[in-house]
Amino acid sequence: MSESGTAGRLAGLTSWDADWRGLRVVVAGIGASGFSAADTLVELGAAVVVVDGSDSEDNRAKADTLRIVGVREVLLGADSTTGIPPVDGQAPELIIASPGWSPAQPLLAAAADAGIPIWGDVELAWRVRIREGRPTAEWLTITGTNGKTTTVGLTESMLLAAGKRAVAAGNVGTPILDVIRDPQGFDFLAVELSSFQLHWSESISALASVCLNIAEDHVDWHGSYEAYAAAKAKIYDRTRIACIYNAEQHETEVMVEEAEVIEGCRAVGFTTGTPAVSMMGVVEDLLVDRAFIEQRRDSAAELASVRELGDVVPRHLVANALAAAALVRAAGISPAAVREGIRTYSPGAHRIEAIASAGGVLWINDSKATNPHAASASLAAFTSVVWIAGGLSKGVAYDDLVRTHAARLRAVVLIGTGSTALQEALHRHAPDVPIISWHTSHTGNGHPEGGGEGAQVMEWAVSEAARLAGEGDTVLLAPAAASMDQFSSYAHRGDAFATAVRALVEGQAPTAKEL
């Protein structure tokens, strides 16, 4: 089939019941989203080849399953990802890229050069969401450098409180294609979209959308901050009812102004201060709506009390709740359901999670703070902090973060193998703050230089933090970096912190000298 013929065929693939039979597809990646995409495409009748650079035992087991369900071929190992594999002896007509695969990856770069269309699993999900005999869910889409998962969870909780069949999907929870294939269908999907997923999307038309915030992150994947921001801005394209933006960050408002939306779509801001007309905000510790009520010019609808968000309510959690409320209010959900959704929402672990309070010291786990913007939000919630930080920096800078919060830092305990940039920023902007580093504490003492097992690293960090903290201090794990140098994930890192803190509080933790 010619390139124009392929493009025409792909343009017509806009429902589950379209003719997907025999479409030649390469799925790049065998993780959760790639596996789900391959499984879905086989069910649709496509001819599928899957590739992944890791020939691990887990991937071989997945490959066996995919072959059983009808995938033509599964290619594992580094050599399988350097070029474009044929499908049934011919060039593929479509590539499905897993979210972590960068456009610079050799297979994807070769596909782009050859003019082969590349979609992500979310783009595929949007195209197959319509299926005869099942309800078609409305999408509420959420992105941002930080706060996505919390906002998606709050959105889901509010929808469920309204009696809707709803689920969080996308970059969190169940792979979105598994949700699409649910036999009962849904009324609404609260879809978390990463910059990676947005990069590979081109036709999503959400009922309402939001970019919560934007700050430097994933520069190594996108190639520049500008490219990263452009990917985030795609969240607003083709939005139908409401584009929700952060009134305290002008960049998100500009994204809305420049977006190609469906005629009649509204711009609705949210702020942790007093809201103007067509905004959500806070008045006397109440979350209020001045956007989705008829009398918005001279009144506001009460949604919930700030206190109903929990015992520790940092400013960014209030912002996330307002963004979620705006999304569901755009979908016609009542103020009462918004309030009930906030009351019943259970935040995920590792997000400003209070682990213990002992001896006048509060211990907080925010391992989910994997970049400077997220760490800044955490630090802003406390006045005197012993900060446990460091890890893989992902190519970001730390000067603004340290400059902003230097006055609240009592001491810093550095973990991670890639914390040089953070340490240098601390020396420049917080020269009087004591810094204790795993790297300098353990080099030459029988431990791997800058490395160490995750549990051992965290036991050391917690012990040092306990030594440095005094009454009225908060020991805050907000690493401002990724975790994969010493831990398998941010959750592993947070669990290690919680275990070490609880052991220390119960008097079971070893001292720093014993480590």
Please report, in range form, the residues annotated as the binding site for ATP: 144-150
Backbone angles phi, psi at 288, to 5 degrees: -135, 160
| CA within 13 Å, CB half, 23 | 30
CA–CA separation, 376 vs 415, rounded Å? 18
**Binding residue numbers:** 144-150
List the one residue out of 359, 366, 361, 360 whose CA is nearest residue 388. Answer: 366
What angle (nearest 5°) sits at the alpha carbon of residue 172, between those of residues 390 and 389?
10
CA–CA separation, 406 vs 474, rounded Å? 15
**Other C-beta atoms lying within 10 Å of the C-beta of residue 9:** 16
Whether the Cβ atoms of residue 353 and residue 378 lie closer than 8 Å to each other: no
The DSSP string of 337-369 is HHHHHHHH--PPTTSSEEEEEETTEEEEE-TT-
The DSSP string of 83-138 is S---BTTB--SEEEE-TT--TTSHHHHHHHHTT--EEEHHHHHHHH---TTSPPPE
For 423, counting Cβ atoms within 10 Å of its Cβ (0-12 exposed, 13-18 middle, 19+ buried), the class is buried
List the one residue out of 502, 146, 161 whose CA is nearest residue 346. Answer: 161
Whether the Cβ atoms of residue 435 and residue 423 lie closer than 8 Å to each other: yes
Query: What single-letter DSSP state applies at residue 53?
Result: S
Whether the Cβ atoms of residue 330 and residue 244 lie closer than 8 Å to each other: yes
Strands 138-143 and 73-76 come out as unpaired
CA–CA separation, 390 vs 52, rounded Å? 30
Tokens 């831990």 belong to which residue? 487
**What is the per-residue burial (b if ≥16 Cβ within 10 Å, else e) of 129-164?**
bbeeebeebbbbbbbbbbbbbbbbbbbbbbbbbbeb
**Other C-beta atoms lying within 10 Å of the C-beta of residue 45:** 13
Q: Which helix (H) or strand (E) holds 283?
A: strand 279-283
CA–CA separation, 73 vs 9, rounded Å? 23
List the one residue out of 7, 80, 79, 72 whose CA is nearest residue 41. Answer: 72
